[in-house]
Structure 1
Amino acid sequence: MPPRPVRDDVTVTPGRPGLSTALLALESVLLRGGHATARRNAWTSVLEDRRRARDRREAAHVLEAAAEGTSEAT
């Protein structure tokens, strides 16, 4: 049987976990909802950017129509 690959990102601490391990666990529990909030904020930002882009396109259309002297867009 081939040897198992060594994972250097895992540290096994025998016995009782240390303070830093306990704090990391507490942080992950307390901030779990923060990831959902971050995704929600990011999506809101995307929607806001799209709205601003649409407003810029509409404003450019109105300005072009005003420069040409037509009143269809205004």
Structure 2
Amino acid sequence: GVSMAQVALGWTAAQPAITSVILGARTPEQLADNLGAMKLKLSDDEMARLNDVSAPQPFDYPYGKGGINQRHRKIEGGR
């Protein structure tokens, strides 16, 4: 019953190393929605699931296809 923005902000704020969260609201409605994250308390199971899907993947940049392509690209000079 909460928005994705509230879940994202709630999860981010619950991380041990996070001391504050910057809101990206552009409208009063978005601000009200973002502030609703203050009331959200994610369960241990919800936090674990979000942590699992947010964990960095070893095949991700700079080691995945994007990183490999960057390492082998031709560097051209001049304008």
| TM-score in terms of structure 2 length | 0.30
Higher RCO, 1 vs 2 (CA within 8 Å, ≥6 residues apart): 2
Structure whose residues are more often helix by fraction? 1
Larger Rg: 1
